[in-house]
Amino acid sequence: MPADPIIEVKAVSKTYEGSVEALAGIDLALPQGMLSTLLGPSGCGKTTLLKIIAGLIPPSQGEIWVKGQKVDGPGPERAFVFQDFALLPWGSVLRNVAFGLELRGMAKDQREQIARKHIDEVGLKSFESSYPHQLSGGMRQRVGLARALTVDADIILMDEPFSSVDEQTRRKFQEELLDLLKHKKKTVIFVTHSIEEAVYLSDRIVLLSPRPGKVSQIIEPNIDRQDENPDEIRRDKNYLDTVDQIWQILKKYV
């Protein structure tokens, strides 16, 4: 039985200045405790929809509801992991990871204790005093993920978080994300251009049509990620069949 929706997208459209219609009439219910991916051709509005859900930009029409409340801006129940890291260049790893808690007015000792725990979880222990310019792209992305985990939001919104790292690091990040989600009951909305990444990670994949983006199809890979070895997922018949199924749909748009 599907989980109850934690996010409801109701007739959302977005038109930018210059009459560029990015999204048209999106209706979507995203279930709690699952990883749902927005996938589609370039320019179909994936990131636009993610930012509307985050409350970072308003829809031109329609509404977003999160946990039964209408969204009119960012909220503490949602954390955003940006593609370009969006770190404070003058802040250490510890300061960056604790920044969301600092904005909430939490005492320094308490927020740093929480931040150190999540820095350790993402594999950056001993880098607490380093600055963004001293880190690789992969390490900076780990800082962004640790920051999202630190605020303990129910919903994590991830905009192509692994696109700027090499393929080996990307695969390691994918495995680590699945491992984290086994232990943390979070709802994740993930944006990617990669069919393989979407199928590897997702409980549910929302395919968007070319601009203006509309929901074309919703696909559930039906892969048991809880018990299966991460390396075995890419050899799973359901994985291979779903990758091919999505490619047959998306190649029509290329």
pLDDT value, residue 1: 43
> Does 39 have pLDDT greater than 90?
yes
Q: Right CATH number for 78-152 from 3.40.30.10, 3.40.50.300, 3.40.50.720, 2.40.50.140?
A: 3.40.50.300
Q: How far, in Å, CA of 122 to CA of 102, rounded?
A: 20
> pLDDT-derived band of residue 208, with 50, 70 and 90 as boundaries?
very high
Q: How far, in Å, CA of 251 to CA of 189, rounded?
A: 23
> Does 127 have pLDDT greater than 80?
yes
Average pLDDT, the chain: 89
Question: Per residue in 66-123, pLDDT tens?
Answer: 999 999 998 888 988 887 777 888 999 999 999 988 888 889 999 999 999 999 988 8
Nearest to 35 by CA among 232, 149, 184: 184
Nearest to 142 by CA among 87, 77, 193: 87
pLDDT value, residue 3: 62
> pLDDT-derived band of residue 181, with 50, 70 and 90 as boundaries?
confident
Domain residue ranges in the chain: 78-152
> Does 4 have pLDDT greater than 80?
no
Give the pLDDT mean for 38-62. Answer: 93
pTM: 0.88
